[in-house]
Amino acid sequence: MKLFELCQNTEYTCLQGKLTREVAGIAYDSRKAEAHFLFVCLVGGQSDGHRYISDAIKNGADVIVTERIPEEKLPETITVLQMKSTRKGLAQLSAAFFGYPAKRLTTIGITGTKGKTTTSFMIKSMLEQAGKKVGLIGTLGAFIGETAVPQKNTTPESWEIQRLLRAMADEGCEYAVMEVSSQGLKQHRTDAITFDYGIFTNLSPDHIGPLEHESFEEYLLCKSRLFSQCKTGIVNADDCYRTEVTKGHTCDIVSYSILTQSNLKAEAVDYLDEEDGLGMHFTTCGCLTVYAKVFIPGTFSVYNALAAMLCCHLCGVRKEAILPGLSRAKVCGRAELVTVSKDFSVVIDYAHNEASTDGILEALQKYRPNRLICLFGCGGNRPKIRRFAMGEAAGRRADLCVLTCDNPRDEALCDINTDIKEGLFSVKHSRYIEIDDREKAIYYCLDHAQKGDIIVLLGKGHETYQEIKGVKYHFDEREVLAKWKENHINPPH
Protein backbone atom coordinates (compact mmCIF):
# COMPACT_ATOMS: atom_id res chain seq x y z
CA MET A 1 0.00 0.00 0.00
CA LYS A 2 1.24 3.48 -0.86
CA LEU A 3 2.06 5.69 2.13
CA PHE A 4 -0.27 8.49 1.04
CA GLU A 5 -3.15 5.97 0.84
CA LEU A 6 -2.34 4.71 4.32
CA CYS A 7 -2.46 8.26 5.71
CA GLN A 8 -5.73 9.41 4.13
CA ASN A 9 -7.62 9.56 7.47
CA THR A 10 -4.79 10.89 9.63
CA GLU A 11 -3.51 14.39 10.32
CA TYR A 12 0.23 14.69 9.83
CA THR A 13 3.09 16.88 8.69
CA CYS A 14 5.67 15.40 6.32
CA LEU A 15 9.06 16.52 7.66
CA GLN A 16 11.05 14.80 4.93
CA GLY A 17 10.87 12.13 2.26
CA LYS A 18 8.34 10.76 -0.23
CA LEU A 19 4.68 9.85 0.33
CA THR A 20 4.58 7.64 -2.78
CA ARG A 21 6.68 4.82 -1.35
CA GLU A 22 5.24 1.37 -0.66
CA VAL A 23 4.66 0.31 2.96
CA ALA A 24 5.11 -3.43 3.57
CA GLY A 25 4.07 -3.42 7.22
CA ILE A 26 3.67 -1.45 10.44
CA ALA A 27 5.68 -1.85 13.66
CA TYR A 28 5.64 -0.02 16.98
CA ASP A 29 8.41 -2.22 18.42
CA SER A 30 11.72 -1.50 16.66
CA ARG A 31 12.73 -5.16 17.01
CA LYS A 32 9.81 -6.17 14.78
CA ALA A 33 10.57 -3.67 12.02
CA GLU A 34 11.50 -5.13 8.63
CA ALA A 35 12.35 -3.90 5.15
CA HIS A 36 10.02 -1.10 3.95
CA PHE A 37 8.13 -1.01 7.25
CA LEU A 38 6.56 2.03 8.85
CA PHE A 39 7.74 2.48 12.46
CA VAL A 40 5.49 4.35 14.91
CA CYS A 41 7.15 5.95 17.95
CA LEU A 42 4.81 5.35 20.89
CA VAL A 43 5.33 7.21 24.16
CA GLY A 44 4.46 5.13 27.24
CA GLY A 45 4.83 5.33 30.99
CA GLN A 46 8.08 3.35 30.96
CA SER A 47 9.43 3.65 27.41
CA ASP A 48 9.65 6.11 24.54
CA GLY A 49 9.71 4.83 20.98
CA HIS A 50 11.63 7.90 19.82
CA ARG A 51 14.74 6.37 21.44
CA TYR A 52 14.61 3.42 19.06
CA ILE A 53 14.33 5.19 15.69
CA SER A 54 17.89 4.25 14.66
CA ASP A 55 17.25 0.59 15.63
CA ALA A 56 14.08 0.51 13.52
CA ILE A 57 15.96 1.97 10.55
CA LYS A 58 18.76 -0.62 10.94
CA ASN A 59 16.09 -3.32 10.79
CA GLY A 60 14.72 -1.95 7.50
CA ALA A 61 12.08 0.66 8.39
CA ASP A 62 12.08 3.55 5.93
CA VAL A 63 9.06 5.49 7.25
CA ILE A 64 9.14 6.93 10.76
CA VAL A 65 6.07 8.40 12.51
CA THR A 66 6.95 10.69 15.44
CA GLU A 67 5.37 13.15 17.84
CA ARG A 68 8.42 15.42 17.81
CA ILE A 69 11.20 16.30 15.43
CA PRO A 70 13.93 13.64 15.76
CA GLU A 71 16.99 14.83 17.67
CA GLU A 72 19.39 13.16 15.24
CA LYS A 73 19.50 13.89 11.52
CA LEU A 74 18.04 10.93 9.63
CA PRO A 75 19.15 9.76 6.15
CA GLU A 76 17.41 11.49 3.24
CA THR A 77 16.07 8.10 2.11
CA ILE A 78 13.85 8.00 5.22
CA THR A 79 10.35 9.51 5.20
CA VAL A 80 9.41 11.19 8.50
CA LEU A 81 5.83 12.06 9.43
CA GLN A 82 4.99 14.07 12.54
CA MET A 83 1.62 13.60 14.31
CA LYS A 84 0.14 15.21 17.38
CA SER A 85 -0.61 11.76 18.84
CA THR A 86 1.17 8.71 17.50
CA ARG A 87 -1.19 6.44 19.44
CA LYS A 88 -4.15 7.89 17.51
CA GLY A 89 -2.03 7.66 14.40
CA LEU A 90 -1.21 3.99 14.96
CA ALA A 91 -4.93 3.20 15.29
CA GLN A 92 -5.82 4.98 12.05
CA LEU A 93 -2.83 3.63 10.12
CA SER A 94 -3.49 0.07 11.29
CA ALA A 95 -7.17 0.24 10.34
CA ALA A 96 -6.22 1.47 6.86
CA PHE A 97 -3.45 -1.15 6.47
CA PHE A 98 -5.86 -4.02 7.25
CA GLY A 99 -8.64 -2.57 5.06
CA TYR A 100 -10.96 -1.23 7.79
CA PRO A 101 -12.14 -4.71 8.86
CA ALA A 102 -14.57 -3.38 11.52
CA LYS A 103 -16.82 -2.24 8.67
CA ARG A 104 -17.27 -5.89 7.66
CA LEU A 105 -18.47 -6.88 11.15
CA THR A 106 -21.14 -5.97 13.67
CA THR A 107 -18.96 -4.66 16.49
CA ILE A 108 -19.88 -4.71 20.19
CA GLY A 109 -17.68 -2.94 22.77
CA ILE A 110 -18.12 -3.47 26.51
CA THR A 111 -16.71 -1.18 29.20
CA GLY A 112 -17.10 -1.04 32.98
CA THR A 113 -15.23 -1.93 36.16
CA LYS A 114 -16.75 -5.39 36.51
CA GLY A 115 -18.66 -7.74 34.26
CA LYS A 116 -16.94 -7.13 30.92
CA THR A 117 -15.63 -10.66 30.50
CA THR A 118 -18.81 -12.41 31.63
CA THR A 119 -21.04 -10.18 29.49
CA SER A 120 -18.85 -10.74 26.42
CA PHE A 121 -19.06 -14.53 26.76
CA MET A 122 -22.82 -14.39 27.35
CA ILE A 123 -23.23 -12.41 24.11
CA LYS A 124 -20.95 -14.85 22.26
CA SER A 125 -22.98 -17.80 23.55
CA MET A 126 -26.32 -16.26 22.52
CA LEU A 127 -25.09 -15.27 19.05
CA GLU A 128 -23.62 -18.72 18.47
CA GLN A 129 -26.89 -20.28 19.59
CA ALA A 130 -28.49 -18.22 16.81
CA GLY A 131 -26.07 -19.77 14.31
CA LYS A 132 -23.69 -16.78 14.03
CA LYS A 133 -19.91 -17.03 13.87
CA VAL A 134 -18.39 -14.74 16.50
CA GLY A 135 -14.98 -13.26 17.25
CA LEU A 136 -14.07 -12.08 20.75
CA ILE A 137 -11.23 -10.00 22.23
CA GLY A 138 -10.81 -9.71 26.00
CA THR A 139 -9.20 -10.70 29.27
CA LEU A 140 -9.20 -14.42 28.46
CA GLY A 141 -7.55 -13.83 25.08
CA ALA A 142 -8.95 -13.57 21.57
CA PHE A 143 -11.22 -16.10 19.89
CA ILE A 144 -11.93 -16.38 16.18
CA GLY A 145 -14.89 -18.71 16.24
CA GLU A 146 -13.59 -21.59 18.36
CA THR A 147 -9.91 -20.85 17.71
CA ALA A 148 -8.12 -19.27 20.70
CA VAL A 149 -5.43 -16.63 20.13
CA PRO A 150 -3.44 -15.71 23.32
CA GLN A 151 -3.21 -11.99 24.16
CA LYS A 152 -1.32 -10.05 26.86
CA ASN A 153 -3.85 -7.26 27.47
CA THR A 154 -7.63 -7.11 27.87
CA THR A 155 -7.68 -4.54 25.06
CA PRO A 156 -4.58 -5.11 22.89
CA GLU A 157 -2.68 -2.38 21.06
CA SER A 158 -4.56 -0.97 18.07
CA TRP A 159 -2.42 -2.82 15.50
CA GLU A 160 -3.28 -6.17 17.12
CA ILE A 161 -6.96 -5.25 17.31
CA GLN A 162 -7.12 -4.42 13.61
CA ARG A 163 -5.16 -7.57 12.71
CA LEU A 164 -7.58 -9.69 14.75
CA LEU A 165 -10.63 -7.99 13.25
CA ARG A 166 -9.27 -8.65 9.76
CA ALA A 167 -8.71 -12.31 10.64
CA MET A 168 -12.25 -12.55 12.04
CA ALA A 169 -13.77 -11.04 8.91
CA ASP A 170 -11.67 -13.25 6.63
CA GLU A 171 -12.72 -16.36 8.61
CA GLY A 172 -16.39 -15.55 8.11
CA CYS A 173 -17.24 -14.03 11.48
CA GLU A 174 -20.30 -11.79 11.44
CA TYR A 175 -19.79 -10.30 14.92
CA ALA A 176 -16.83 -9.04 16.95
CA VAL A 177 -17.32 -8.68 20.71
CA MET A 178 -14.63 -6.72 22.54
CA GLU A 179 -13.84 -5.82 26.13
CA VAL A 180 -12.88 -2.15 26.04
CA SER A 181 -10.74 -1.30 29.07
CA SER A 182 -10.19 2.19 30.43
CA GLN A 183 -6.50 1.86 29.53
CA GLY A 184 -7.46 0.86 26.01
CA LEU A 185 -9.63 3.95 25.69
CA LYS A 186 -7.03 6.20 27.32
CA GLN A 187 -4.36 5.00 24.91
CA HIS A 188 -6.62 5.25 21.82
CA ARG A 189 -6.34 1.53 21.06
CA THR A 190 -9.94 1.35 19.80
CA ASP A 191 -9.79 4.58 17.80
CA ALA A 192 -10.77 4.03 14.15
CA ILE A 193 -13.63 1.74 15.26
CA THR A 194 -17.19 3.00 15.39
CA PHE A 195 -18.88 0.32 17.46
CA ASP A 196 -22.37 -0.68 16.47
CA TYR A 197 -23.14 -1.21 20.17
CA GLY A 198 -21.35 0.08 23.26
CA ILE A 199 -22.22 -1.45 26.65
CA PHE A 200 -21.67 0.07 30.11
CA THR A 201 -21.83 -2.47 32.96
CA ASN A 202 -20.96 -0.50 36.14
CA LEU A 203 -18.33 1.75 37.67
CA SER A 204 -16.45 1.72 40.97
CA PRO A 205 -12.99 3.05 41.99
CA ASP A 206 -10.28 0.81 40.53
CA HIS A 207 -7.10 1.05 38.46
CA ILE A 208 -6.13 4.30 40.18
CA GLY A 209 -2.36 4.67 40.47
CA PRO A 210 0.84 6.01 38.88
CA LEU A 211 0.88 3.47 36.02
CA GLU A 212 -2.86 3.47 35.38
CA HIS A 213 -5.17 6.47 36.04
CA GLU A 214 -4.24 9.57 38.00
CA SER A 215 -7.71 9.88 39.56
CA PHE A 216 -11.19 8.41 39.57
CA GLU A 217 -12.32 11.37 37.46
CA GLU A 218 -9.84 10.43 34.73
CA TYR A 219 -10.88 6.78 35.00
CA LEU A 220 -14.53 7.76 34.49
CA LEU A 221 -13.69 10.12 31.63
CA CYS A 222 -11.81 7.38 29.80
CA LYS A 223 -14.74 4.98 30.18
CA SER A 224 -17.11 7.63 28.80
CA ARG A 225 -15.18 7.83 25.50
CA LEU A 226 -16.89 4.66 24.31
CA PHE A 227 -20.18 6.55 24.00
CA SER A 228 -18.66 9.00 21.56
CA GLN A 229 -17.56 6.18 19.28
CA CYS A 230 -20.59 3.91 19.11
CA LYS A 231 -23.97 4.07 17.36
CA THR A 232 -26.09 2.67 20.21
CA GLY A 233 -25.18 2.82 23.90
CA ILE A 234 -26.55 0.12 26.24
CA VAL A 235 -26.38 1.40 29.81
CA ASN A 236 -26.99 0.01 33.31
CA ALA A 237 -29.73 2.37 34.51
CA ASP A 238 -29.19 1.33 38.15
CA ASP A 239 -25.54 2.41 38.28
CA CYS A 240 -24.98 5.70 40.09
CA TYR A 241 -22.46 6.85 37.43
CA ARG A 242 -24.73 6.21 34.43
CA THR A 243 -25.29 9.95 33.81
CA GLU A 244 -21.61 10.93 34.10
CA VAL A 245 -20.38 8.07 31.92
CA THR A 246 -22.75 9.01 29.08
CA LYS A 247 -22.22 12.77 29.38
CA GLY A 248 -21.55 14.23 25.94
CA HIS A 249 -22.57 10.99 24.20
CA THR A 250 -23.15 11.02 20.46
CA CYS A 251 -25.07 7.72 20.33
CA ASP A 252 -28.64 6.59 20.92
CA ILE A 253 -29.08 5.34 24.50
CA VAL A 254 -31.07 2.33 25.71
CA SER A 255 -30.95 0.88 29.22
CA TYR A 256 -31.40 -2.20 31.37
CA SER A 257 -32.10 -2.48 35.10
CA ILE A 258 -33.45 -4.35 38.07
CA LEU A 259 -34.52 -1.39 40.24
CA THR A 260 -35.61 1.39 37.87
CA GLN A 261 -37.59 1.77 34.66
CA SER A 262 -35.64 0.86 31.54
CA ASN A 263 -35.93 -0.71 28.11
CA LEU A 264 -35.29 -4.15 29.63
CA LYS A 265 -36.07 -4.73 33.31
CA ALA A 266 -35.60 -7.84 35.43
CA GLU A 267 -38.23 -8.77 37.99
CA ALA A 268 -38.76 -11.60 40.49
CA VAL A 269 -34.97 -12.05 40.73
CA ASP A 270 -34.08 -15.03 42.93
CA TYR A 271 -31.28 -17.46 43.68
CA LEU A 272 -31.17 -20.85 42.01
CA ASP A 273 -29.63 -24.08 43.32
CA GLU A 274 -30.14 -26.91 40.84
CA GLU A 275 -28.30 -29.97 39.66
CA ASP A 276 -26.76 -27.84 36.89
CA GLY A 277 -25.22 -25.57 39.54
CA LEU A 278 -25.70 -22.38 41.49
CA GLY A 279 -27.26 -19.50 39.61
CA MET A 280 -30.07 -16.99 39.27
CA HIS A 281 -33.51 -16.93 37.70
CA PHE A 282 -35.74 -13.99 36.81
CA THR A 283 -38.40 -12.67 34.48
CA THR A 284 -38.08 -9.65 32.22
CA CYS A 285 -40.40 -6.94 30.98
CA GLY A 286 -40.03 -4.21 28.39
CA CYS A 287 -38.71 -4.98 24.92
CA LEU A 288 -38.34 -8.68 25.80
CA THR A 289 -40.70 -10.67 28.02
CA VAL A 290 -39.18 -13.99 29.12
CA TYR A 291 -38.33 -16.25 32.05
CA ALA A 292 -34.55 -16.69 32.17
CA LYS A 293 -31.92 -18.76 34.00
CA VAL A 294 -28.22 -18.07 34.30
CA PHE A 295 -25.88 -20.52 36.05
CA ILE A 296 -23.54 -17.91 37.48
CA PRO A 297 -24.40 -16.92 41.07
CA GLY A 298 -25.08 -13.35 42.20
CA THR A 299 -27.25 -10.38 41.33
CA PHE A 300 -24.33 -9.00 39.30
CA SER A 301 -24.77 -11.94 36.91
CA VAL A 302 -28.37 -10.82 36.33
CA TYR A 303 -27.11 -7.36 35.33
CA ASN A 304 -24.57 -8.95 32.98
CA ALA A 305 -27.31 -11.17 31.56
CA LEU A 306 -29.60 -8.20 30.95
CA ALA A 307 -26.85 -6.29 29.11
CA ALA A 308 -26.19 -9.32 26.90
CA MET A 309 -29.88 -10.05 26.32
CA LEU A 310 -30.66 -6.45 25.36
CA CYS A 311 -27.68 -6.28 23.01
CA CYS A 312 -28.59 -9.53 21.27
CA HIS A 313 -32.25 -8.51 21.04
CA LEU A 314 -31.18 -5.29 19.30
CA CYS A 315 -29.03 -7.42 16.96
CA GLY A 316 -32.18 -9.27 15.93
CA VAL A 317 -31.56 -12.49 17.87
CA ARG A 318 -34.79 -14.24 18.86
CA LYS A 319 -35.55 -15.35 22.43
CA GLU A 320 -35.36 -18.99 21.26
CA ALA A 321 -31.59 -18.45 20.96
CA ILE A 322 -31.13 -15.90 23.75
CA LEU A 323 -32.45 -18.13 26.56
CA PRO A 324 -30.46 -21.33 25.88
CA GLY A 325 -27.43 -19.23 25.03
CA LEU A 326 -27.68 -17.56 28.45
CA SER A 327 -28.25 -20.76 30.43
CA ARG A 328 -25.25 -22.43 28.75
CA ALA A 329 -22.87 -19.49 29.18
CA LYS A 330 -19.84 -20.37 31.32
CA VAL A 331 -16.83 -18.15 31.93
CA CYS A 332 -13.47 -19.44 33.14
CA GLY A 333 -12.63 -17.95 36.53
CA ARG A 334 -15.80 -15.88 36.89
CA ALA A 335 -17.93 -17.39 39.68
CA GLU A 336 -16.85 -20.74 38.20
CA LEU A 337 -18.25 -23.74 40.04
CA VAL A 338 -15.82 -26.69 40.10
CA THR A 339 -17.21 -30.02 41.29
CA VAL A 340 -14.87 -31.87 43.64
CA SER A 341 -17.30 -33.33 46.20
CA LYS A 342 -21.02 -33.86 46.65
CA ASP A 343 -20.69 -32.63 50.25
CA PHE A 344 -19.43 -29.09 49.61
CA SER A 345 -19.04 -26.56 46.77
CA VAL A 346 -15.91 -24.90 45.36
CA VAL A 347 -16.03 -21.64 43.40
CA ILE A 348 -13.13 -19.97 41.53
CA ASP A 349 -13.41 -16.22 40.97
CA TYR A 350 -11.09 -13.50 39.68
CA ALA A 351 -12.13 -10.98 42.40
CA HIS A 352 -9.08 -8.95 43.34
CA ASN A 353 -10.48 -5.73 44.81
CA GLU A 354 -12.99 -4.73 47.48
CA ALA A 355 -16.04 -4.34 45.26
CA SER A 356 -15.67 -7.65 43.46
CA THR A 357 -14.74 -9.49 46.69
CA ASP A 358 -17.77 -8.12 48.49
CA GLY A 359 -19.97 -8.89 45.49
CA ILE A 360 -19.06 -12.55 45.10
CA LEU A 361 -19.09 -13.26 48.86
CA GLU A 362 -22.45 -11.55 49.33
CA ALA A 363 -23.84 -13.59 46.44
CA LEU A 364 -22.59 -16.87 47.91
CA GLN A 365 -23.99 -15.99 51.35
CA LYS A 366 -27.47 -16.02 49.78
CA TYR A 367 -27.18 -19.78 49.28
CA ARG A 368 -27.00 -20.18 53.08
CA PRO A 369 -23.85 -22.32 53.26
CA ASN A 370 -22.91 -24.12 56.45
CA ARG A 371 -19.72 -22.01 56.31
CA LEU A 372 -18.33 -19.63 53.72
CA ILE A 373 -14.56 -20.12 53.48
CA CYS A 374 -12.62 -17.53 51.52
CA LEU A 375 -9.07 -18.19 50.29
CA PHE A 376 -7.26 -15.16 48.89
CA GLY A 377 -4.16 -12.98 48.75
CA CYS A 378 -3.31 -9.69 47.06
CA GLY A 379 -0.96 -8.81 44.23
CA GLY A 380 2.35 -7.11 44.84
CA ASN A 381 3.35 -3.79 43.25
CA ARG A 382 -0.25 -2.61 43.52
CA PRO A 383 -1.92 0.05 45.75
CA LYS A 384 -1.80 -0.98 49.43
CA ILE A 385 -5.26 0.46 50.11
CA ARG A 386 -6.69 -2.33 47.94
CA ARG A 387 -5.28 -4.91 50.39
CA PHE A 388 -6.84 -3.34 53.46
CA ALA A 389 -10.21 -2.95 51.72
CA MET A 390 -10.17 -6.52 50.39
CA GLY A 391 -9.26 -7.88 53.84
CA GLU A 392 -12.08 -5.91 55.41
CA ALA A 393 -14.63 -7.15 52.84
CA ALA A 394 -13.54 -10.78 53.24
CA GLY A 395 -13.48 -10.54 57.05
CA ARG A 396 -16.99 -9.10 57.07
CA ARG A 397 -18.51 -11.73 54.76
CA ALA A 398 -16.60 -15.00 55.27
CA ASP A 399 -16.75 -17.36 58.24
CA LEU A 400 -13.07 -18.17 57.73
CA CYS A 401 -10.40 -16.42 55.67
CA VAL A 402 -7.31 -18.29 54.47
CA LEU A 403 -4.53 -15.83 53.56
CA THR A 404 -2.11 -17.07 50.94
CA CYS A 405 -0.02 -16.11 47.91
CA ASP A 406 -1.37 -14.27 44.84
CA ASN A 407 1.23 -12.82 42.44
CA PRO A 408 3.46 -11.11 45.04
CA ARG A 409 5.69 -9.91 42.18
CA ASP A 410 8.59 -7.95 43.71
CA GLU A 411 7.16 -7.63 47.24
CA ALA A 412 7.59 -9.90 50.24
CA LEU A 413 4.49 -12.01 50.86
CA CYS A 414 4.61 -11.29 54.60
CA ASP A 415 4.39 -7.54 53.92
CA ILE A 416 1.38 -7.99 51.64
CA ASN A 417 -0.44 -10.17 54.17
CA THR A 418 0.33 -7.70 56.95
CA ASP A 419 -1.56 -5.05 54.97
CA ILE A 420 -4.46 -7.46 54.41
CA LYS A 421 -4.61 -8.28 58.13
CA GLU A 422 -5.10 -4.61 58.99
CA GLY A 423 -8.39 -4.86 57.13
CA LEU A 424 -9.26 -8.16 58.78
CA PHE A 425 -8.50 -6.77 62.26
CA SER A 426 -10.92 -3.90 61.63
CA VAL A 427 -13.78 -6.43 61.55
CA LYS A 428 -14.96 -7.73 64.90
CA HIS A 429 -14.83 -11.52 65.28
CA SER A 430 -13.17 -12.12 61.88
CA ARG A 431 -11.30 -15.44 61.74
CA TYR A 432 -8.27 -16.22 59.59
CA ILE A 433 -5.26 -18.46 59.15
CA GLU A 434 -2.14 -17.96 57.00
CA ILE A 435 -0.72 -20.60 54.67
CA ASP A 436 1.86 -19.09 52.31
CA ASP A 437 1.92 -21.92 49.77
CA ARG A 438 -1.29 -21.55 47.72
CA GLU A 439 -1.53 -25.25 46.82
CA LYS A 440 -1.22 -26.26 50.49
CA ALA A 441 -3.75 -23.58 51.40
CA ILE A 442 -6.26 -25.03 48.92
CA TYR A 443 -5.64 -28.53 50.28
CA TYR A 444 -6.22 -27.24 53.81
CA CYS A 445 -9.62 -25.85 52.80
CA LEU A 446 -10.63 -29.08 51.07
CA ASP A 447 -9.34 -31.38 53.81
CA HIS A 448 -11.21 -29.44 56.51
CA ALA A 449 -14.42 -28.78 54.57
CA GLN A 450 -17.70 -29.68 56.25
CA LYS A 451 -20.96 -30.74 54.64
CA GLY A 452 -22.73 -27.74 53.12
CA ASP A 453 -19.65 -25.47 53.05
CA ILE A 454 -18.85 -23.20 50.12
CA ILE A 455 -15.14 -22.64 49.50
CA VAL A 456 -14.31 -19.69 47.26
CA LEU A 457 -10.83 -19.24 45.79
CA LEU A 458 -10.34 -15.57 44.94
CA GLY A 459 -7.84 -13.67 42.84
CA LYS A 460 -6.46 -16.11 40.26
CA GLY A 461 -9.60 -16.74 38.24
CA HIS A 462 -8.54 -17.67 34.70
CA GLU A 463 -4.81 -17.19 35.40
CA THR A 464 -2.56 -20.24 35.21
CA TYR A 465 0.56 -18.82 36.83
CA GLN A 466 2.03 -17.27 39.97
CA GLU A 467 4.25 -14.23 39.40
CA ILE A 468 7.12 -14.10 41.90
CA LYS A 469 10.25 -11.94 41.58
CA GLY A 470 9.79 -11.41 37.85
CA VAL A 471 9.19 -15.10 37.07
CA LYS A 472 5.83 -16.63 36.12
CA TYR A 473 5.52 -20.14 37.57
CA HIS A 474 2.81 -22.47 36.27
CA PHE A 475 -0.09 -22.71 38.69
CA ASP A 476 -3.65 -23.68 37.78
CA GLU A 477 -6.19 -23.99 40.58
CA ARG A 478 -8.28 -26.38 38.49
CA GLU A 479 -5.34 -28.78 38.33
CA VAL A 480 -4.89 -28.58 42.11
CA LEU A 481 -8.59 -29.33 42.64
CA ALA A 482 -8.53 -32.19 40.12
CA LYS A 483 -5.50 -33.75 41.85
CA TRP A 484 -7.21 -33.56 45.25
CA LYS A 485 -10.39 -35.06 43.80
CA GLU A 486 -8.49 -37.90 42.13
CA ASN A 487 -6.63 -38.71 45.36
CA HIS A 488 -9.92 -38.92 47.25
CA ILE A 489 -11.70 -41.01 44.62
CA ASN A 490 -8.68 -43.30 44.15
CA PRO A 491 -6.56 -42.76 47.26
CA PRO A 492 -2.90 -43.88 46.94
CA HIS A 493 -2.10 -47.21 48.60
* Structural domains of the chain in order of their starting residue, each with its CATH number: 3-97 (3.40.1390.10), 101-327 (3.40.1190.10), 336-489 (3.90.190.20)
Q: What is the pLDDT of residue 204?
A: 83
Give the model's confidence band at 488: pLDDT under 50 very low, under 70 low, under 90 confident, else very high.
confident
Q: Is the pLDDT of residue 491 over 70?
A: no
pTM: 0.90
Q: Is the pLDDT of residue 363 over 80?
A: yes
Q: What is the pLDDT of residue 206?
A: 58
- Average of per-residue pLDDT values in the chain: 94
Q: What is the pLDDT of residues 26-67, one digit of tens each?
A: 999 999 999 999 999 999 867 899 999 999 999 999 999 999
Q: What is the pLDDT of residue 211?
A: 54
The predicted model gives 251-259 an average pLDDT of 98
Pairing state between β 372-376 and 400-403: parallel
- In contact, 460 and 333? CB cutoff 8 Å: yes
CA distance linking residue 401 with residue 422, whole number of Å: 13
Q: At what angle do helices 384-397 and 354-365 cross, to 10 degrees?
A: 10
Q: What is the pLDDT of residues 69-122, one digit of tens each?
A: 998 899 999 999 999 999 999 999 999 999 999 999 999 999 998 999 999 999
Q: What is the pLDDT of residue 11?
A: 96
- Which residues have a Cβ under 8 Å from the Cβ of 176 and sit 6 or more positions away? 102, 105, 106, 107, 108, 134, 135, 136, 137, 165, 168
Q: What is the pLDDT of residue 201?
A: 97
Q: In sequence order, what are the beta bridge partners of 284?
A: 266
The predicted model gives 378-385 an average pLDDT of 91
Determine phi and psi for 308, rounding to 5 degrees.
-70, -40
> Which has the closest alpha carbon to 280: 262, 297, 305?
297
Q: What is the pLDDT of residue 213?
A: 57
Q: What is the pLDDT of residue 375?
A: 98
% of the chain at pLDDT higher than 90: 87
CA distance linking residue 180 with residue 162, whole number of Å: 14
Q: Is the pLDDT of residue 19 over 70?
A: yes
